[in-house]
Amino acid sequence: MQTKSHLSRLIHDQAKKYGDREVLIYKDFGGSVWKSYSWNQFSDMVKKVSNALLNLGVKVQENLGIFSQNSVQYLFCDFGAWGVRAVTIPFYATSSEQQIQFMISDAKIRFLFVGEQEQYDKARRIFATCPTLERIIVFDKNVHISSLDLSSMYFDDFLKLGENYPRQTEVESLQAQASMDDIANILYTSGTTGDSKGVILTCGQYNAAMIANDKCVPVGENDRVLNFLPFTHIFEKGWKILCLTEGATLIVNTYPQEVQQSMKETHPTCMSSVPRFWEKVYMGVQEQIEKSGMAKRKLFRHAEAVGKKHNIDYISKGKRPPLLLHMEYEFLNKTVFSLVRKELGLENAHFFPTAGATVNPKVEEFVHSIGINMIVGYGLTESLATVSCNHLGKPYTVGGVGIPIEGIDIKISEEGEVLLKGPTITRGYYNREDLTKTAFTEDGYFKTGDSGYLKDGELFLKERIKDLFKTSNGKYIAPQMIESKLLVDKYIDQIAIIADQRKFVSALIIPVYSLLEEYAREHKIPFENRDQLCKDPQINQMMKERIDTLQQSLAHYEQIKRFTMLPNHFTMEKGELTNTLKIKRRVLNENYKKEIDAMYAE
């Protein structure tokens, strides 16, 4: 049963309920051994942080920065800060010096918590340019702090300021005064265009979101939840807090590249993720099957067809499958699909929330077909994550984004834009009254920028209104929809559609270089480097044939007519991706102007 406590008291109330039961499973920075904390130990660490913050002089509703990848220390700081009514501002671990300098200055941050050497070094380099910044507190004890740096301290030394809870009476007094109007977080969204803007999220928003999600997301105290997305991401942050209110165990994955190994080592029952994760799972399984012998390949294709018929044609529509189909599915589920799930580390799979981008219907069908409950949803930072989601055990439509959660009022504007009102919606942007004013309609609905429609109670998205391209022929193109269709190809790692004010659709493609090299060797195609590989006519013809197959269902004007394969990935360092790995189209158009212009040359 969910514990409905204010964020300032949640961990302590749960410790009274669960005591020495395990709640956090984690590895030290750079470590290889899984360790754990009980609820009592979690509560103790949070109390130490709250007391230490007061000893540093932190004030009510003061802004604190957290610049780190996922870690238990991150959790201690979040809840410790809320325990004294302070505000935490999370920075992505990959943020640039320019980004953190802007956020520190905009939010007037005095105290900044950092994770590893990379974050510490960036923070030190911009320290002198941030007048408000007083102290850096370092999570990882292996970080080398400069001998000339008198403004930084290790987290372990910071905790000593809170040992034996010297300010606990004051901490408890602040918690008694805590309000639902208190700001809990300011989340700066980097956006695909323009400067960062700080989304204000209050304790009341979190409270409303936890109560609403409890009614439709069946996570419970027996679930083991792997944290994959960064805690900076509202989807993971909201999901993490929901899981804690339900008494679930959190498995803290610090390094995203290790997530599949973490899955195999810890056997989670749940994990929130973005569609790209499942696209890679889909491609990985398909590649393994293609390399299998004919008999094994035929068996899996048959099992996949049975799974689709059982779980998509019947279960997803709320229909009871015929007895013989059900019996065959149960047999294949235990003999074939269970092996796939075991290979992924998901033997005990319960359900997996997925949002953040368009889910390719082929991938969604595949995940359901092999017996994994993907719960597709939709949300924004400004809505404190969930706006709508599928409900486990209830009918859903592949391609939809579920039923609106309780309390959310959705209205579709005359232009087709999804508009939102409700207790989970932000009150605005920090220090930006101008942006706040333009973000809402005159009658108080938040403008999402997404085009969509409601049908039989379900929400369906069409495209990002801001991302909608118009060709020089007057046709509208939804780039994300086209990109989603092509990203399931095993040879495509990243793709950016080009079409705005152009005669036809083209694409910049980052191939999976290892597979391209393997193809070249198998077909005796000589190459000396990636650039030569990407320009080879035979390889380009192979890629064209694969693209043409995948885009058969698109209208003629939506189909890619020309493409260019690039020898290097799109990166955050070059400004081409946001911290959540979304494409910055304006930057790509600038960085690859030569390549783009060449595709449109007569």
Tokens of 495: 């793709």
Which tens digit of pLDDT belongs to each residue from 186-203? 999 865 445 679 999 999
φ, ψ of residue 487 to 5 degrees: the values are -70, -10
Q: Kindly tell me if the per-residue pLDDT of 80 is higher than 90.
A: yes
Contact between 27 and 72 (Cβ < 8 Å): no
Residue 359 near residue 487, CB atoms below 8 Å: no
Domain end position, chosen among 248, 267, 286: 267
Write the CATH number for 499. Answer: 3.30.300.30
Contacts (Cβ under 8 Å, ≥6 apart) of 435: 197, 428, 429
Comparing CA positions, the residue from 145, 159, 136 lying closest to residue 66 is 136
Q: Note whether residue 478 is domain-resident.
A: yes
pLDDT band at 96 (very low <50, low <70, confident <90, very high): confident
Strand-pair category, 403-404 with 63-67: unpaired
In angstroms, what CA-CA distances link 25 with 98, 246, 248? 34, 16, 11
Domain count, the chain: 2
What is the rounded distance in angstroms from the CA atom of residue 506 to the CA atom of residue 560? 5
Q: Which of 45-54, 80-89, 90-99, 179-188 has the lowest mean pLDDT?
A: 90-99
Domain-embedded: residue 577: yes
Residue the block writes with tokens 């590249």: 257
**Domain-located, residue 324:** no
Cα(252)–Cα(474) distance, integer angstroms: 49
Q: Specify if 196 maps to a domain.
A: no
State the sign of the Cα–Cα–Cα–Cα dihedral 542, 546, 547, 553.
Answer: positive
106-115, 422-431, 567-576: range with lowest mean pLDDT: 567-576
What is the pTM assigned to this prediction? 0.86
Q: Which of 44-48, 232-236, 574-578 has the lowest mean pLDDT?
A: 574-578
Residue 227 banded pLDDT, cuts 50, 70, 90: very high
Mean pLDDT of the 462-474 span: 73
Report whether pLDDT(162) > 70.
Answer: yes
Consecutive H or E run containing 578: none
Cβ-based neighbour number of residue 586 at 10 Å? 13
Which among 341, 383, 103, 121 has a CA at the least distance from the CA of 235? 383
Q: Which residues fall within 8 angstroms of residue 199, CB to CB, at 6 or more apart?
A: 186, 187, 188, 189, 234, 381, 382, 426, 429, 430
The Cα 252–Cα 9 span in angstroms is 21
Out of 267, 301, 336, a domain closes at 267
- State the burial class of residue 515 (Cβ atoms within 10 Å of its Cβ: 0-12, 13-18, 19+): middle
What distance in Å separates the CA atoms of residue 585 and residue 564, rounded to the nearest whole number? Answer: 16
Structural domain range at position 511: 470-599
Nearest to 7 by CA among 189, 234, 174: 174
Within-domain flag for 391:
no
Q: Is residue 518 part of a domain?
A: yes
CA 398 – CA 363 distance, rounded (Å): 10
% of the chain with per-residue pLDDT over 70: 99
| Position 552 in a domain | yes
**CATH code of 70's domain:** 3.40.50.12780
> Torsion-angle region of residue 3: left (phi > 0), alpha (psi -120 to 50) or beta?
beta
From 267, 294, 327, the end of a domain falls on 267
Measured between alpha carbons, how far apart are the two ends of the chain, in Å?
A: 66
Q: Would you say residue 132 lies in a domain?
A: yes
Polymer length of the chain: 602
| 171 vs 467, higher pLDDT | 171
CA distance 499 to 478: 9
Average pLDDT over residues 236-255: 97
A 10 A CB-CB count for 537 gives: 8
Q: Which residues are within 8 A (CB) of 307 and not within 5 positions of it... i.e. 6 or more apart? A: 329, 332, 333, 337, 368, 369, 370, 371
